[in-house]
A and B are shown apart, each in its own frame.
Chain A
């Protein structure tokens, strides 16, 4: 399991960073930013593809695409990119099940690929995603990154192009993104040191 995929949260020692309404508004704002920054639909602009990183990046990418279609009328292809086989910490944890990699029908060659994930932390997931993307076939025109929460503590020279919310955290704290598709409700929770489930 990815580190962000944890069991049912406990009420004690947690703080709600984003409510369900905040999550919806945040995704809507990110959709506007993607439309503007990629010149979506303009002549000469590259086709945009959203690739969600399982587990929670996948439903986030789908929601982002729905908002983008709503605001711009342009349907951007979405897919998923599993990074399990590219992780650099496989031997530090029990064997992980694989997630789903499903590139959109048209592929990603010459496209502007926007990777979508829930939390940006060390940056190691994104490094693995870039490796996975290189092996997936095709050569994207450019790769960008969209995350719902940037909690800092980068260990690699990686930054996001679209950030839903910047959250200053202590390293030992944990940020859990909840989505209806995977967790039965929307929200972002911060757990204090050693108090998460």
Chain B
């Protein structure tokens, strides 16, 4: 694996290898006093975040440091980006400074792909940490890792993805990955929050994709429910009448949680808007896997860095 730009096109074997490595790293580090492995000694990882982030940036930084890579964080605010430098020039600068891997988050869909093209000559690996409304592959991988923890396997499971699918790179990456792993994904959202081409999304051969506008009839059939954040910062216009109305129709309340089978966990990629898409009681219940997702996020990102940087360079 040279880059991780999306889960669209990520084959099943590679995805499972990354998830297995993540499990192995988690078991290796469990209960250790010193959580440090020498595996990526001498490799330099640069995170380049053009959008706000807490968990993704922090968990990539921790992942790199636990593998002994040198991690440098660049944010748009404190860098030459503020002076008007282009994404391409910033990336070439970071590659010239010695980056083996650039982890990028950018508001423009496709930014990571462009970056990978520009950095091909330098041989720098690129990880997409979220590009616009396109993809967020490590989030989907950590969600899959969490589902494996809670359910044993993803294959044959019916996974609900509820809420603002239109603006969600998390939903898109999860649809690709979870169907590739053999799950049936049910997208549940009001028509205004579903992208027009959703029926044409590429779906893994092993799985399938279903779209629904009503949450309550779906809940009893689900093995897990993934609640998406309502992304007000990307909404320019009226997508639903009011926050209260959205919460009533699609918010995961305690009453709705009772409709969900006992074994089904609740996932949320964070940050959560309590009272909007998820009630505080559900978010804090043992059914919620939200902190487990964050913990898995570190191990999954370690695994991604391992697969990108530890093996022989094969140029593929």
A90 touches B310 (CB 8 A): yes
B20 touches A85 (CB 8 A): no
- Is chain A's interface secondary structure helix, strand, loop, or mixed overall? loop
Q: Is A131 an interface residue (CB 8 A)?
A: yes
- CA A193 – CA B25 in complex, angstroms? 37
Nearest opposing residue in chain B for A88, CB measure:
B38
A95 touches B311 (CB 8 A): yes
B27 CB to closest chain A CB, in angstroms? 7
B residues with a Cβ closer than 8 A to A are 1, 17, 20-21, 24-25, 27-28, 31-34, 36-39, 306-307, 310-314
Task: Count A/B pairs, Cβ under 8 Å.
Answer: 56
**Given known A85-B38, A90-B310, contact A97–B21 (CB-CB < 8 A):** yes
**Given known A101-B28, A135-B32, A137-B33, contact A86–B307 (CB-CB < 8 A):** no
Q: Is A93 an interface residue (CB 8 A)?
A: yes
- Is chain B's interface secondary structure helix, strand, loop, or mixed overall? loop
B20 touches A131 (CB 8 A): no
Contact partner of A91 (CB less than 8 A), chosen from B20, B28, B38, B310, is B310
Nearest opposing residue in chain B for A98, CB measure:
B24
A96 touches B28 (CB 8 A): no
A129 CB to closest chain B CB, in angstroms? 13
B20 touches A86 (CB 8 A): no
Q: Which residues of B contact A94 (CB under 8 A)?
A: 311-312, 314
Q: Is A118 an interface residue (CB 8 A)?
A: no
- CA A97 – CA B310 in complex, angstroms? 11
B311 touches A96 (CB 8 A): yes
- CA A177 – CA B31 in complex, angstroms? 33
A97 touches B37 (CB 8 A): no
Nearest opposing residue in chain A for B1, CB measure:
A95
A77 CB to closest chain B CB, in angstroms? 17
Q: Which residues of B contact A137 (CB under 8 A)?
A: 31-34
Count of chain A residues near B, Cβ 8 A: 19
Known: A90-B39, A92-B312. 8 other contacts (CB 8 A): A82-B28, A85-B306, A91-B310, A95-B310, A96-B310, A98-B24, A98-B28, A131-B38
Contact partner of B21 (CB less than 8 A), chosen from A92, A98, A101, A135, is A98
- CA A85 – CA B25 in complex, angstroms? 9
User: Most chain-B Cβ atoms within 10 A of its Cβ — which of A90, A98, A137?
Assistant: A98
B65 CB to closest chain A CB, in angstroms? 14
Q: Is A170 an interface residue (CB 8 A)?
A: no
Q: Is A69 an interface residue (CB 8 A)?
A: no
6 of the cross-chain contacts (CB-CB < 8 Å) are A85-B37, A85-B38, A90-B310, A98-B20, A99-B24, A137-B31
Q: Which residues of A contact B24 (CB under 8 A)?
A: 82, 97-100
Q: Which residues of A contact B37 (CB under 8 A)?
A: 85-86, 135
**Given known A85-B37, A135-B37, A136-B32, contact A97–B311 (CB-CB < 8 A):** no
Q: Which residues of B contact A101 (CB under 8 A)?
A: 27-28
- CA A93 – CA B312 in complex, angstroms? 5
Contact partner of A86 (CB less than 8 A), chosen from B1, B33, B39, B306, is B39
